[in-house]
Amino acid sequence: MPLERKLVLSKAFVKSYQKFTGKNEALKTSISKALHKLEHNAYDPALRTHKLSGKLVSYLACSCGYDCRIIFTIEKDISNPDAENIILLDIGTHDDVY
């Protein structure tokens, strides 16, 4: 049975998302597609998911467009051993999030 994954949006992510996307519908669409892929396969080649280093060493990042990065972590769901939570932490340009 495949592992069940659920996206969990942190308050910081929601705030960054609103600030970053503004009224840009094309960007929102691009991010939505990336989040859908992330939920189904965090290591989809199109996302270019990679581990981070330095102060962000315990996190992962993926790409959701030319200059758009999502910082996240994957944790086991304590209430369901067959599930993982993908905790979305931040979103923005490369320089914003690193």
Top pLDDT among 79 and 2 is at 79
Read off the pLDDT of residues 12-64 as tens digits, 9 standing for 90 and up: 999 999 999 999 999 999 999 999 999 999 999 999 999 999 999 999 999 99
Residue boundaries of the structural domains of the chain? 4-97
Give the CATH number of domain 4-97. 3.30.2310.20
- Please tell me the predicted confidence (pLDDT) of residue 31: 95
Q: Residue 1: is its pLDDT beyond 60?
A: no
Q: Which long-range contacts (CB under 8 A, 24 or more apart) does 1-5 make?
A: 1/82, 3/82, 3/83, 3/84, 4/77, 4/80, 4/82, 4/83, 4/84, 5/39, 5/40, 5/42, 5/83, 5/84, 5/85, 5/86
